[in-house]
Amino acid sequence: MSKERSHRWQAEAWKPFVEKRPERKGAFETASGLSLEPAYFSGDPSISAEGPGEYPFLRGVHPTMYRGRHWTMRQYAGFSSARQTNERFRYLLKQGQTGLSVAFDLPTQMGYESDHALAAPEAGMVGVAINSLRDLEQMFEGIPLEKVSTSMTINATGLILFAMYVALAKRQQVPSEKIRGTIQNDILKEFIARGNYRFDVGASMRLTTDLFHFQQEVAPNFNPISVSGYHMREAGCTAVQEVAFTLADGIAYLEAAQAAGLDPTVTARRISFFFNGHNDLFEEVAKFRAARRMWARIVKVRFGIEDEKAQQLRFHTQTGGSTLTSRQPEVNAVRVTIQALAAVLGGTQSLHTNARDEALGLPSEASALLALRTQQVLAYESGVADVADPLGGSPFIETLTDDLEAAALSEMKRIEMDYGGMVGAVAAGYVQREIHRVAVQHQKSVESGEVAVIGVNQFVLEEEEAPEVFRPEARARQEIHHSLQEIREERDDAQVNTVLEALKNLAATDTPLGPAILEAVEAYATVGEICETLGEVFPPYQPPSSF
């Protein structure tokens, strides 16, 4: 592409963009003082001439990408009690983090109170325990919701936690239309790879679309779903499968929203995605580029949506937890850097970098800081943020992008033809079996040494010092139980019973449940009580026997 074409594109597309999002400070040039254009174009006629910010968004969703603003640096954290999590959030924000990301414990994710017989041993173990609105109030104490963007990794109980966040905004006197963030709300991947489900597929999809309804009514700037390939990749699928299964899930959610009477354009404008970052640098870059182009075409061609914002695949990336090792854990910092670089080169909108000690336990404060600093070095020192899609036009990257897209489309066609879509494929156990098959193959390759893992099957140290493992304070569980017992004693039980009975009656109808759940959480009904109430109407999930 000629210099004239490049400058014309810059003048037409860049100016309105920077008027909307302030330009970062500093000159865009190399360390030697060579000036850099916002993007570069290949003269190869076989390579798409569209620039960043132009359909089908292969090269990025914004014309100047990180020139306007860096990606959101959103470190995932949740530490047993709401108080401890609040302390970590405040620390990360002070260190320059630009968004919050909440890790919930398993009982919260599956809808049980912390002192339930099935849940007590897991309460506060792998994330923060949220039993009632009181816990959320404490977790965000001193953190103004209008000034932060919050991501919540919650699915089966997503509508409940979103209602709590809306209630918290009201208590902070923040208009709900000003709150920003994302709630994962991706129940299909729970059935596929993660296992944190509560109700059957039909009821769970109904709760997902009810959250869409509620978000559109009260919080138009919040993302009501983050369609997640991350956990499927963690379970063992390939990059091709990650794209295919994730976008097939996205189709299923958009179809469910249409069936529920929601405007598909409005819904698509707020759908976000969540991908994994792995070690194969160039395949990962190609994966992100291919997914963006595929989703734009799906939204435009399959759903007939012409709105360009609705066609854009906006995504968060987390570096690959399954790639981290407990042997020589310092090496994990190198893996994370490569994975983060792939995400940035691929055009991510937000990023979490794993800490080097996460294969051993919850990250220490020092390792969490290093993980954040990794992003900051990429953003401010490496130069990768100065040019949009810097690898675009490379014959290798363009060919790899095309090949990955073709393979993913082939897998998606199989799901459509054989199972009628992703919901049918999940119900039949097909996706679960495919991921299991690939994961077993990979593990055998690692054990045989065919696939190298440094420190594990290559360059192994004969002796290693036992690394220190960070553990949350032992008294955190007492904090959790004390908070739960305190709210039970202080609230109006008659009011709780009334709102829960009304919720049960509504659940038996087709009425969206968001407002009723908001009433319940404002009365300080617990997550467990709300799920038990819904469980009187909704059947539990039973995994397919064929799996």
As a whole number of angstroms, the distance between CA 314 and CA 283 comes to 19
Percent above pLDDT 90 for the chain: 82
For domain 70-448, the CATH architecture is: Alpha-Beta Barrel (3.20)
Q: In the chain, what are the domain boundaries?
A: 70-448
What is the predicted pLDDT for the residue at 17? 30
The mean pLDDT of 313-325, rounded to a whole number, is 97
The mean pLDDT of 345-354, rounded to a whole number, is 96
What is the predicted pLDDT for the residue at 26? 62
What is the predicted pLDDT for the residue at 474? 46
Instruction: Check whether 382 has a pLDDT greater than 70.
Output: yes
What pLDDT digit, counting tens, does each position of 61-93 carry? 999 999 989 999 987 878 789 998 999 899 889
What pLDDT band is residue 454 in, cutting at 50, 70 and 90? very high
Percent above pLDDT 70 for the chain: 93
As a whole number of angstroms, the distance between CA 442 and CA 428 comes to 24
CB 299 within 8 A of CB 61: no
For residues 207 and 463, which has the higher predicted lDDT (pLDDT)? 207
Q: What is the mean pLDDT of the chain?
A: 92
What is the predicted pLDDT for the residue at 14? 31
As a whole number of angstroms, the distance between CA 237 and CA 496 comes to 44
Instruction: Take residue 407 and report the two structure tokens written for it.
Output: 């393979």
As a whole number of angstroms, the distance between CA 292 and CA 19 comes to 25
440: CB partners within 8 A, 6+ apart: 236
Which neighbouring-strand residues pair with 35? Answer: 29
What is the predicted pLDDT for the residue at 250? 98
As a whole number of angstroms, the distance between CA 291 and CA 372 comes to 26
Residue 483, classified by CB atoms within 10 Å of its CB into exposed (0-12), middle (13-18) or buried (19+), is: buried
Instruction: Check whether 6 has a pLDDT greater than 50.
Output: no
Among 148-152, 169-173, 358-362, the range scoring the smallest mean pLDDT is: 358-362
Start-to-end C-alpha separation, the chain: 52
What is the predicted pLDDT for the residue at 7? 32
What is the predicted pLDDT for the residue at 138? 96
Instruction: Check whether 208 has a pLDDT greater than 90.
Output: yes
Instruction: Take residue 31 and report the two structure tokens written for it.
Output: 């360390």
As a whole number of angstroms, the distance between CA 88 and CA 144 comes to 15
Which neighbouring-strand residues pair with 368? Answer: none
What pLDDT band is residue 231 in, cutting at 50, 70 and 90? very high
Instruction: Check whether 491 has a pLDDT greater than 80.
Output: yes
What is the predicted pLDDT for the residue at 24? 58
What pLDDT digit, counting tens, does each position of 275-298 carry? 999 999 999 999 999 999 999 999
Instruction: Check whether 19 has a pLDDT greater than 60.
Output: no
What is the predicted pLDDT for the residue at 5? 34
**DSSP summary character for residue 76:** E
Instruction: Check whether 481 has a pLDDT greater than 50.
Output: yes
What pLDDT band is residue 241 in, cutting at 50, 70 and 90? very high
As a whole number of angstroms, the distance between CA 168 and CA 248 comes to 34
What is the predicted pLDDT for the residue at 324? 97
What is the predicted pLDDT for the residue at 11? 32
State how far the alpha carbon of 76 is from the alpha carbons of 249, 317, 521, 538, 540, in Å.
23, 11, 24, 31, 29
Q: Nearest CA to 368 among 77, 4, 142?
A: 77
Largest CA distance in the chain: 73
Among 203-217, 218-232, 452-466, the range scoring the smallest mean pLDDT is: 452-466
What pLDDT digit, counting tens, does each position of 110-136 carry? 999 999 999 988 998 889 999 999 999
The mean pLDDT of 29-34, rounded to a whole number, is 94
As a whole number of angstroms, the distance between CA 106 and CA 118 comes to 11
Helices (H), 10-69: 15-20
Instruction: Check whether 55 has a pLDDT greater than 70.
Output: yes
The mean pLDDT of 29-56, rounded to a whole number, is 90
The mean pLDDT of 17-46, rounded to a whole number, is 74
As a whole number of angstroms, the distance between CA 491 and CA 159 comes to 22
The mean pLDDT of 517-543, rounded to a whole number, is 97
